[in-house]
Structure 1
Amino acid sequence: MQKILCIRFSSIGDIILTTPIVRVLKAQYPHAEIHVATKASFAHLWEGNPQVHHVHGFDGNIWKFAKELRQEGFDLVYDLHKNLRSHVLCLLLGKIPKQINKYTSARNTFIKKKINKLPGHLVDRNLASLGLGSDGQGLDYFIPAASHVNLTDYGIKKPFVLFAIGAAHQTKVLSYPKMIELIDSIPQQVVLVGDDWDEKIGYRLATLFPEKVLNLCSQTSISQSASLAQQADMVIAHDSSMMHISAALKHPNLFTLWGSTHVGLGFTPYKTSFTVIENTNLTCRPCSTQGSNVCPLGHFNCMNSLDLSAIKDAAQAL
């Protein structure tokens, strides 16, 4: 029996985007054991995935980690991260990995010159660079039974809107005034999810809209937030992990908000329907591949000038 190792250390959204690769590998090597190497804090993202035999959690000691992995005797190694740490790990394993192509030059050309030569979606690019074909099934995310959220436990009544208010970088997040504008236009209950960083914004929004907004930021796990998204009548998300999780769940009413990043970079929801909300009239977009914490031009027009009418109309129609 073959053993195959897939390396992807972080982060949440990027890990979700590797799930089609693991699924395709399992289909190609049905009798092989598929192992995943990732940061220990993200190991839970693979819970319940039927294609994965074992998840190895990296705790910061690369030498110890490599020693553990060497004992498995892997036949094939797929480097799905392609950074310094994954390079070192492959060297310590004594394996020449198959690696994704990050298209760094094309990305930089898009950022600096606004000329997009990137070939399609990131997932398809990665599959092609590994010599694999897409099975057309999209992303995977499996919600553990223990993480299923009973809406009545939180006083949530359908129909409701889930708003994932955060993202990894601030230039990918709606400004606070635009969040107020958006929530004010939605007649249904709005449930907020996010991490500790988002909790204070969530508190302020819940204070402004006490009868409408339920702030669950920092109160639910990733899988519990996914359960809420699965049950929501509409999901609103930035270019973020919750966008990809909602895409994996094939949510039928997913609205995505785009600021400093751009759909042309290939990070959109994969193999599912969604609505893009972006300002296509700005010549400064995209200004980064994964977002930053400060608008380089100081105006933040990519988010401050977003037309939110499509979301408002859809909410009115629920």
Structure 2
Amino acid sequence: MGDVILTSPAIRLIRKRFPGCTIDFVVKKQFSSLLSTHPFINSLLIFDKNKNGNPLKQLKRQIKRNNYDIIFDLHKNLRSYYLSTNSGAQQIFRYKKFVLRRLLLVKFKINLFKQPIPIYQRYLIALSHLGIIDDNQGLDLYLDENIKNNISSFYADFFKSPGQQILGVAPGASFPTKRWTSAGFEQVINHFLEQKNLLIILFGNSEDRELIKSLNIKVSPNILNVAGSMSIAETAALMNHCNVVLTNDTGLMHMAAALKKKIVAIFGSTTRELGFFPVSGDSIVIENKNVRCRPCSHVGRKNCPKEHFKCMKEIQPAEIIKAISSFFV
């Protein structure tokens, strides 16, 4: 999900540079709703791995039939390389992954990134040959108006108090080493449940449902758990109501950034140098910089390879509470 959202500046800037061009976007079926109402995209080419036959070859043939002039490969994996090289396009531009720098950082802790480069800006490097430069407008996410209105109507009783503040919390992540501790989330959530005129919404996918259920959270009418019960588009529409979002390094962090929300992001086994960090001024990244074994992976791990998990365990709830509170002033 995050990879798709991070392409939004590239889409916007291609349209700005070439206003009359046709922009088609290849996307996995499960993430297509993120782009279904995008005003700058002409067509979505859906990759559905569960489709009958050979869906990858079918998609390859569709791309070739469309006779594109330019292909931007902003994923640069084996699948996208296969599709782009067989596209028949006159020009192909691929995003630079900085694989060697990433390897040196993760394996040997040699940091050749003078400044952390956000992933969306790395995507724009692939576009720079055509005179496309960053406009510093950040990420975009265009909500479906019908879904947006339905969400507002369905949760009208929850959003009942005028002037209330809403804190979104996303305690899950794709890998355990990217998740802050359950005890930490419990303390932070329970702290803010004691605040007057403040609501909390718990976000996550179906895999996060059990994690959230296991949290020892006070019973309160001011908290809403929607983990695993909403589509991606519905999640975005509900998150749009939040003032601040507390999240790990995960796709929901990028969703919050695209919705222009204030963000407190907790980083454990990953670091800013890898590029997946919120870049707006209304974001705070909390990380344990005293742990020398970070980063131990560029995507996350099932277990801490050192078996101490200090990168997350040593981050104190008080630090998170202070960061969130600074946005509610």
SS at match of 1:277: strand
| Cα distance change on mapping 1:315 and 1:244 into 2, 3 Å | closer
Match of 1:111 among 92, 106, 118: 106
Pair 1:82-2:82 in alignment: no
Does the Cα contact within 8 Å between 1:38 and 1:57 map onto a contact in 2? Answer: yes
1:300 maps to 309
Quick one: which amino acid aligns to residue 33 of structure 1? T
Pair 1:176-2:176 in alignment: no
Does the Cα contact within 8 Å between 1:193 and 1:220 map onto a contact in 2? Answer: no
2:52 maps to none
2:35 maps to 46
1:5 maps to none
| Cα distance change on mapping 1:49 and 1:238 into 2, 3 Å | same
Q: TM-score, normalised by structure 1?
A: 0.89
| Cα distance change on mapping 1:203 and 1:129 into 2, 3 Å | same
- Give aligned pairs, total: 305
| Cα distance change on mapping 1:209 and 1:114 into 2, 3 Å | same
Q: CA deviation at 1:311?
A: 3.1
Structure 1 range deviating more: 42-51 or 144-153: 144-153
Structure 1 range deviating more: 109-118 or 96-105: 109-118
Structure 1 range deviating more: 160-169 or 210-219: 210-219
Q: CA deviation at 1:229?
A: 2.3
Does the Cα contact within 8 Å between 1:250 and 1:272 map onto a contact in 2? Answer: no
Q: CA deviation at 1:74?
A: 0.8
Match of 1:163 among 169, 173, 176: 169
Q: Take 1:243 and 1:154, find their aligned partners in 2: how far apart are those partners?
A: 26
Does the Cα contact within 8 Å between 2:189 and 2:217 map onto a contact in 1? Answer: no
Q: TM-score, normalised by structure 2?
A: 0.86
Q: Take 2:71 and 2:168, find their aligned partners in 1: how far apart are those partners?
A: 38
Match of 1:232 among 238, 242, 259: 242
2:46 maps to 57
Q: CA deviation at 1:221?
A: 2.0
Show CA shifts across 1:40-65 (max 9, x none). Answer: 22111112211111111012311111
SS at match of 2:136: coil
1:34 maps to 23
RMSD: 1.9
Does the Cα contact within 8 Å between 1:139 and 1:271 map onto a contact in 2? Answer: no
Does the Cα contact within 8 Å between 1:247 and 1:272 map onto a contact in 2? Answer: no
| Cα distance change on mapping 1:278 and 1:146 into 2, 3 Å | same
SS at match of 2:273: helix
Structure 1 range deviating more: 228-237 or 306-315: 306-315
Show CA shifts across 1:202-261 (max 9, x none). Answer: 2233x642215422101122222222322123210111111111111111x311111100
Q: Take 1:153 and 1:20, find their aligned partners in 2: how far apart are those partners?
A: 33
Q: Give ranges in structure 1 of 5+ residues lacking alignment.
A: 1-11
Does the Cα contact within 8 Å between 2:37 and 2:143 map onto a contact in 1? Answer: yes
1:243 maps to 253
Q: Take 1:313 and 1:90, find their aligned partners in 2: how far apart are those partners?
A: 47
Q: Take 2:76 and 2:136, find their aligned partners in 1: how far apart are those partners?
A: 24
Quick one: which amino acid aligns to residue 21 of structure 2? A
Runs of 4+ residues deviating >4 angstroms = 314-317
| Cα distance change on mapping 1:79 and 1:128 into 2, 3 Å | same
Task: Using the aligned pairs only, state the percent identity.
Answer: 30
Structure 1 range deviating more: 96-105 or 173-182: 173-182
Q: Give ranges in structure 2 of 5+ residues lacking alignment.
A: 50-54
2:85 maps to 91
Does the Cα contact within 8 Å between 1:26 and 1:51 map onto a contact in 2? Answer: yes
Q: Take 2:144 and 2:217, find their aligned partners in 1: how far apart are those partners?
A: 34
Q: CA deviation at 1:91?
A: 2.8
Q: Take 1:272 and 1:70, find their aligned partners in 2: how far apart are those partners?
A: 42
| Cα distance change on mapping 1:26 and 1:233 into 2, 3 Å | closer
Q: Take 1:23 and 1:219, find their aligned partners in 2: how far apart are those partners?
A: 31
Pair 1:209-2:194 in alignment: no
1:123 maps to 120
